[in-house]
């Protein structure tokens, strides 16, 4: 083994024998050279399968930290998962850049060892500082750290997809000498994907991890909020709850903690994720009382609209906040300076508290907004009429019945895995701030809403989809019916809910219980100096294996002989993206085969001596048959019994239109380039293009956008749009006949083009009449 000198140090590179035969972590000696670049200085920390060294980067001349992971002490059944977590940490760190995160600079492998290189942090963990302090820290100091932690968590959660840290605790928070916080150890961080209803791994530190991280539900941003609350609680009190989840009142352990902070920590650590703050930004506002205006019943306003709703429900309390200037100050605090000036003018020109708070609500929501009790409405209406009379103006006309406004018209969950999805918001508001009432009723059982009635100026409804009972590799469309009641006017509104259910694919080895973990796939190496694939094929993506009793060994030969391979055969071993591409290839094949089958049967008719090909006029019926058969073939696979008939008709009409447009444009182009040559290739090209156009035009994504654009044009420019569609249809139909000789069948092509245009027009008219 060669030794060389470098600025006074004896450099000892790792030999293959050392790297393979002695792969325990924390054994690298001082001055060991890694990757021909990093010189080990000392061991910073060490665990069973990992160690962290202080090293010097000879290329940059800087001190860095090298994190080592070795599989030598890991059981064979767990090596794939351990390596996957290590690679996931490298993958996550490589694309993050934030002042409160260590900078990631390199990743490489040598033998059985794998290394991450990152910024060296000169400081101590908050856990070490808590032990040295011998007791809790002051609230002011802890809130200074909390501000930085909120900053970095907001940054992680804002990534696409969001990054969930999942192991936030004082031991994973470093404090540098200059006072800056650094979040370390991304070993079990994960990327949020709308997948299963619960996590597949029990990871995290007991006491700091929320209940859902132990398999009861899926972790998301609110899981990190829980861990942050417990971390701050320990720093403020020096203690943790002895058992169970949740937090007590921090003031019982440290009376110096303010009631605001104690209440915020309790809510952030609620057992049910829905009871916690929905985001770190909202938690920050509650923790620092920034951007929140609390009411006595515990509800808080974080937006002007929420303030208006609370003032309408509790006008006396709202009037107190209005006339003592709290609302003005709060609006300035959240950046609503223009609205604050209007509120100040309203306060100084209005002497009656009830009239003032109603005008405040109208200023924010609109002229139809009013207070929520009849007595207050009558008093306010009388006062308002008197005030208008004093100014010499006639009393305002009676309010019209409130009009219900529902947004959005379509909720698209995108691709989800079987289970309960994350919520998406549906907003029901009244026109110009009027109070609206009604019911919310999902039509399909897999659509879940958090409330079935609404009553207020603005109501937020959380919508989820439970796809656990739906078949994978399918798109589903459902409806939520919102029906107005009472004085609310308007027809029932229908909100469309769309979701595409994916199949499970997982990465990782089979555990002792016979299950696979459903974490994201990591294949190949990351970073400089790692060009080889690190995961063997047997540990890459495959189907979910059902759990087996502990006494059954799926690797036993007798078990295999009786039941076959564990988990069934999966010849494809394809990822979700690969399965999706295969699915659309199958749809295209169906769109291709349907008109091909018709052409084969048509060519077998007795009066044909040979298969009809262009420019033979007898080919024209086969060409026209491609118009409906191509989209119909695509819909045979790209639809199922759960699709509504109206949706299928929409997609068939747009498929007709796109197929006509594609064939009608190809015919003159082919005729100008090839004249009447290559008839067989001509027919084959027409067939392939018809299948492609039918597949695209009948897809839900393209169909909905084509109809939306045509509907918009028809509503605003009806006669020009009608004329344009008819002229285009007739022209494309005539264009279809260019590839064949003129005959008595030529008018049939023109009629087919006109029929397609009429079908599209009638469908758009029906959509306008029945939105």
pLDDT tier, 258 (very low <50, low <70, confident <90, very high otherwise):
confident
Averaged pLDDT, 407-431:
84
Q: Which helix (H) or strand (E) holds 766?
A: helix 746-769
Question: How many domains, the chain?
Answer: 5
Contact 203, 117 (CB under 8 A): no
Q: What is the pLDDT of residue 353?
A: 84
Average pLDDT, the chain: 77
734 assigned to some structural domain: yes
- Which of residues 495 and 554 earns the better pLDDT score? 495
Are 653 and 729 contained in the same domain?
A: yes
Q: Does the pLDDT value for residue 114 go beyond 90?
A: no
Last residue of a domain, one of 437, 472, 501: 501
Handedness of CA 412, 416, 418, 421 (dihedral sign): negative
Last residue of a domain, one of 501, 525, 550: 501
Q: What is the pLDDT of residue 266?
A: 92
Q: Does the pLDDT value for residue 387 go beyond 50?
A: no
Contact 58, 37 (CB under 8 A): yes
Q: Does the pLDDT value for residue 466 go beyond 80?
A: yes
572 assigned to some structural domain: no
Is there a catalytic annotation at residue 167? yes
DSSP 14-73: PPHHHHHH---TT-PPTTEEETTTEEEEEEEEE-SSEEEEEEEETTTTEEEEEEEEESTT
> What's the number of CA atoms in the CB half-sphere (13 Å) around residue 31?
10
Are 126 and 110 contained in the same domain?
A: no
Catalytic residue among 167, 185, 199, 220: 167
Last residue of a domain, one of 389, 418, 434: 389
Q: What is the pLDDT of residue 233?
A: 94
Q: Does the pLDDT value for residue 24 go beyond 80?
A: no
| CA dist list (Å): 8 to 4, 11, 33, 168 | 10, 9, 14, 41
Are 472 and 424 contained in the same domain?
A: yes
Beta bridge partners of 173: 183
Task: Please give the angle made by the CA atoms of 109, 112 and 116, to the nearest 5 degrees.
Answer: 35
Q: What is the pLDDT of residue 429?
A: 84
Are 384 and 428 contained in the same domain?
A: no
Q: What is the pLDDT of residue 194?
A: 45
Q: Let me know if 242 is exposed, middle or buried by CB neighbors in 10 A (0-12, 13-18, 19+).
A: exposed
Quick: pLDDT tens for 211-239: 887 765 577 889 999 999 999 999 999 99
Q: What is the pLDDT of residue 376?
A: 42
- Which of residues 574 and 303 earns the better pLDDT score? 303
- Which of residues 460 and 443 earns the better pLDDT score? 443
The beta strand positions in 113-267, using DSSP E, are 113-119, 123-125, 163-164, 173-176, 181-183, 190-191
Among 102-106, 330-334, 749-753, the range scoring the smallest mean pLDDT is: 330-334
Q: Does the pLDDT value for residue 517 go beyond 80?
A: no
Q: What is the pLDDT of residue 497?
A: 93
Which residues span the domain enclosing 671?
577-769
Q: What is the pLDDT of residue 527?
A: 37
Q: Which of 258, 292, 270 is nearest to 143 (CA)?
A: 258
Q: Which SS3 state, helix, strand or coil, does residue 717 take?
A: coil
For residue 73, what are its two tokens? 């002490």
For residue 23, what are its two tokens? 């792969």
Q: Which of 444, 535, 519 is nearest to 481 (CA)?
A: 444
Q: What is the pLDDT of residue 546?
A: 40
| C-alpha–C-alpha distance, residues 584 and 638, integer Å | 8
Q: What is the pLDDT of residue 545?
A: 38
| C-alpha–C-alpha distance, residues 642 and 664, integer Å | 34
| CATH number of the domain enclosing 77 | 3.30.200.20
Task: Report the 10 Å Cβ neighbour count for 215.
Answer: 12
Quick: pLDDT tens for 3-23: 333 333 344 455 444 444 445
Averaged pLDDT, 154-170:
86
Q: What is the pLDDT of residue 643?
A: 52
Radius of gyration from C-alpha coordinates of the chain: 34
Are 192 and 229 contained in the same domain?
A: yes
Are 102 and 139 contained in the same domain?
A: no
Among 276-280, 430-434, 557-561, the range scoring the smallest mean pLDDT is: 557-561
Length of the chain: 771
| C-alpha–C-alpha distance, residues 246 and 229, integer Å | 9
Q: Does the pLDDT value for residue 673 go beyond 70?
A: yes
560 assigned to some structural domain: no
| C-alpha–C-alpha distance, residues 704 and 650, integer Å | 8
Are 383 and 410 contained in the same domain?
A: no
Averaged pLDDT, 437-451:
89
236 assigned to some structural domain: yes
How would you classify the pairing of strands 4-6 and 9-13? antiparallel
The answer to whether the annotation marks 67 as part of a ligand binding site is yes
Task: Report the 10 Å Cβ neighbour count for 650.
Answer: 21
Q: Does the pLDDT value for residue 334 go beyond 90?
A: no
Are 72 and 187 contained in the same domain?
A: no
Q: Does the pLDDT value for residue 97 go beyond 60?
A: yes
Tell me the whole-structure pTM to 2 decimals: 0.41
Averaged pLDDT, 364-371:
82
Contact 58, 148 (CB under 8 A): no
Averaged pLDDT, 321-327:
82
564 assigned to some structural domain: no
Q: What is the pLDDT of residue 576?
A: 64
DSSP 455-499: EESEEEEEEEEBGGGSPSSEEEEEEEEEEEETT-BSPPEEEEEEE
Q: What is the pLDDT of residue 386?
A: 47
Are 462 and 491 contained in the same domain?
A: yes
- Which of residues 138 and 489 earns the better pLDDT score? 138
Q: Which of 726, 622, 628 is nearest to 683 (CA)?
A: 622
Q: Does the pLDDT value for residue 306 go beyond 60?
A: yes
Are 302 and 271 contained in the same domain?
A: no
513 assigned to some structural domain: no
pLDDT tier, 754 (very low <50, low <70, confident <90, very high otherwise):
very high
Averaged pLDDT, 538-555:
42
Q: Let me know if 675 is exposed, middle or buried by CB neighbors in 10 A (0-12, 13-18, 19+).
A: exposed
Averaged pLDDT, 150-174:
87
Quick: pLDDT tens for 480-489: 999 888 777 7
CB-based contacts of 623: which residues, under 8 Å, 6+ apart?
614, 663, 686, 736, 739, 740, 749
398 assigned to some structural domain: no
Quick: pLDDT tens for 721-748: 999 999 999 999 888 887 666 667 778 8
Q: Does the pLDDT value for residue 197 go beyond 70?
A: no
Q: What is the pLDDT of residue 726?
A: 92
Q: What is the pLDDT of residue 418?
A: 78
Q: What is the pLDDT of residue 401?
A: 56
Q: What is the pLDDT of residue 529?
A: 36
Name the most confidently modeled range: 145-149, 239-243, 282-286, 458-462.
145-149
322 assigned to some structural domain: yes
Q: What is the pLDDT of residue 573?
A: 57
> What's the number of CA atoms in the CB half-sphere (13 Å) around residue 76?
2
Are 621 and 717 contained in the same domain?
A: yes
- Which of residues 37 and 674 earns the better pLDDT score? 37
Contact 195, 220 (CB under 8 A): no
| CATH number of the domain enclosing 472 | 2.60.40.10
Among 29-43, 249-263, 507-521, the range scoring the smallest mean pLDDT is: 507-521
Are 114 and 77 contained in the same domain?
A: yes
Percent of the chain predicted with pLDDT > 90: 21
| CA dist list (Å): 533 to 434, 522, 526 | 62, 10, 9
């Amino acid at each position: 083994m060669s030794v060389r000198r470098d600025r006074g140090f004896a450099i000892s590179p790792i030999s293959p024998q050392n790297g393979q035969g002695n792969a325990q972590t924390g054994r690298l000696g001082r001055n060991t050279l890694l990757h021909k670049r990093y010189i080990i200085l000392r061991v910073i920390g060490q665990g069973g399968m990992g160690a962290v060294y202080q090293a010097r980067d000879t290329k940059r001349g800087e001190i860095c930290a090298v994190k080592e992971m070795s599989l030598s002490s890991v059981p064979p059944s767990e090596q794939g998962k351990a390596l996957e977590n290590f690679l996931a940490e490298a993958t996550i760190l490589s694309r993050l850049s934030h002042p409160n995160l260590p900078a990631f600079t390199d990743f490489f492998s040598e033998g059985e060892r794998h290394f991450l290189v990152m910024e060296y942090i000169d400081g101590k963990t908050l856990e070490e500082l808590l032990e040295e302090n011998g007791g809790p820290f002051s609230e002011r100091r802890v809130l200074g750290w909390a501000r930085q932690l909120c900053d970095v968590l907001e940054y992680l959660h804002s990534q696409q997809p969001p990054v969930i840290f999942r192991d936030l605790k004082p031991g994973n928070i470093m404090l540098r000498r200059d006072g800056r916080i650094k979040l370390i150890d991304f070993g079990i961080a994960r990327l949020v994907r709308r997948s299963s209803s619960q996590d597949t791994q029990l990871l995290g530190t007991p006491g700091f991890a929320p209940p859902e991280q132990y398999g009861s539900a899926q972790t998301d941003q609110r899981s990190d909020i829980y861990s942050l609350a417990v971390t701050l609680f320990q720093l403020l009190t020096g203690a943790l709850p002895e058992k169970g989840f949740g937090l007590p009142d921090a003031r019982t352990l440290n009376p110096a903690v303010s009631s605001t902070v104690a209440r915020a920590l309790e809510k952030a650590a609620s057992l049910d994720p829905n009871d916690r703050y929905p985001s770190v930004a909202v938690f920050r506002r509650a923790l620092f009382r920034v951007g929140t205006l609390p009411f006595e019943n515990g509800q808080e306003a974080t937006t002007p609209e929420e303030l208006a709703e609370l003032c309408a429900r509790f006008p006396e309390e709202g009037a107190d906040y209005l006339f003592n200037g709290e609302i003005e100050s709060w609006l300035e605090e959240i950046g609503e300076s223009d609205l604050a000036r209007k509120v100040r003018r309203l306060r100084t020109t209005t002497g009656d508290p009830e009239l003032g708070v109603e005008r405040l609500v109208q200023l924010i929501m609109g002229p139809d907004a009013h207070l929520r009790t009849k007595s207050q409405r009558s008093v306010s209406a009388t006062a308002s009429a008197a005030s208008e009379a004093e100014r010499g103006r006639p009393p305002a006309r009676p309010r019209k019945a409130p009009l219900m406004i529902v947004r959005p018209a379509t909720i698209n969950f995108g691709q989800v895995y079987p289970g309960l999805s994350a919520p998406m918001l549906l907003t029901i508001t009244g026109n110009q701030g009027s109070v609206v009432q009604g019911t919310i009723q999902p039509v399909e059982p897999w659509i879940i809403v958090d409330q079935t009635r609404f009553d207020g100026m603005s109501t937020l409804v959380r919508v989820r989809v439970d796809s656990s009972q739906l078949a994978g590799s399918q798109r589903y469309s459902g409806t939520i019916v919102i029906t107005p009641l009472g004085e609310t006017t308007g027809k029932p509104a229908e909100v469309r809910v769309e979701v595409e259910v994916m199949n499970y694919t997982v990465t990782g080895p089979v555990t002792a219980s016979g299950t696979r973990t459903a974490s994201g796939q990591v294949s190949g190496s990351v970073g400089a100096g790692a060009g080889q694939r690190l995961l063997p094929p047997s540990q890459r993506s495959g189907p979910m294996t059902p759990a087996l009793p502990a006494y059954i060994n799926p690797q036993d030969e007798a078990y295999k002989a009786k039941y076959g391979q564990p988990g069934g055969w999966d010849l494809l071993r394809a990822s979700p993206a690969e399965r999706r591409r295969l699915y659309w290839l199958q749809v295209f094949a169906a769109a291709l085969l349907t008109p091909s089958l018709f052409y084969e049967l048509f060519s077998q008719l007795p009066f044909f001596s040979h298969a009809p090909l262009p420019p033979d006029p007898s080919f024209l019926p086969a060409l026209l048959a491609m118009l409906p058969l191509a989209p119909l073939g695509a819909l045979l696979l790209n639809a199922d019994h759960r699709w509504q008939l109206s949706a299928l008709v929409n997609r068939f009409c747009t498929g007709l239109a796109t197929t006509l447009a594609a064939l009608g444009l190809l015919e003159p182009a082919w005729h100008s380039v090839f004249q009447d040559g290559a008839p067989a290739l001509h027919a084959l090209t027409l067939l392939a293009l018809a299948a492609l156009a039918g597949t695209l035009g009948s897809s839900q994504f393209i169909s909905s956008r084509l109809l939306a654009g045509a509907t918009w044009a028809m509503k605003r420019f009806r006669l020009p749009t009608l004329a344009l569609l008819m002229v285009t249809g007739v022209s494309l139909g005539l264009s279809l006949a260019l590839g064949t000789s003129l005959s008595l069948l030529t008018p049939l092509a023109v009629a087919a083009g006109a029929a397609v245009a009429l079908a599209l027009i009638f469908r758009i008219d029906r959509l306008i009449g029945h939105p």
